[in-house]
Amino acid sequence: MSSLEIYALIVCGLILLTQSIYLFIDARKNGFNQWMWGILGLIQAPVPLIFYLIIKRIRKKEEDELYDYRDY
């Protein structure tokens, strides 16, 4: 392996690890299944992160609408 390939593997590993840690911590904070999101974050990037952010936004929007109806 050349030094460029080694650096690329290290960078990819750091990206996957960082994404996984972020997904795990944020999922636990927001009531999602943190282990599932953490493992998905280790498998590939950036698809799990994009899906998580979309699902999080949809869930937040639904909760806000629910609380708006309770005010009436």
Identify the CA nearest to 45 among candidates 19, 9, 8, 11: 19
- Tens of pLDDT, residue by residue over 38-64, are 999 999 989 999 999 999 999 988 888
Q: Give me 55's structure tokens.
A: 């699902």
Residue 17 has pLDDT above 80, yes or no: yes
**DSSP, residue by residue, 7-65:** HHHHHHHHHHHHHHHHHHHHHHHTTS-HHHHHHHHHH-SSHHHHHHHHHHHHHHHHHHH
- Tens of pLDDT, residue by residue over 20-33, are 999 999 999 999 99
Rounded Cα–Cα distance for residues 66 and 22 (Å): 27
Predicted confidence at residue 57, as pLDDT, reads: 93
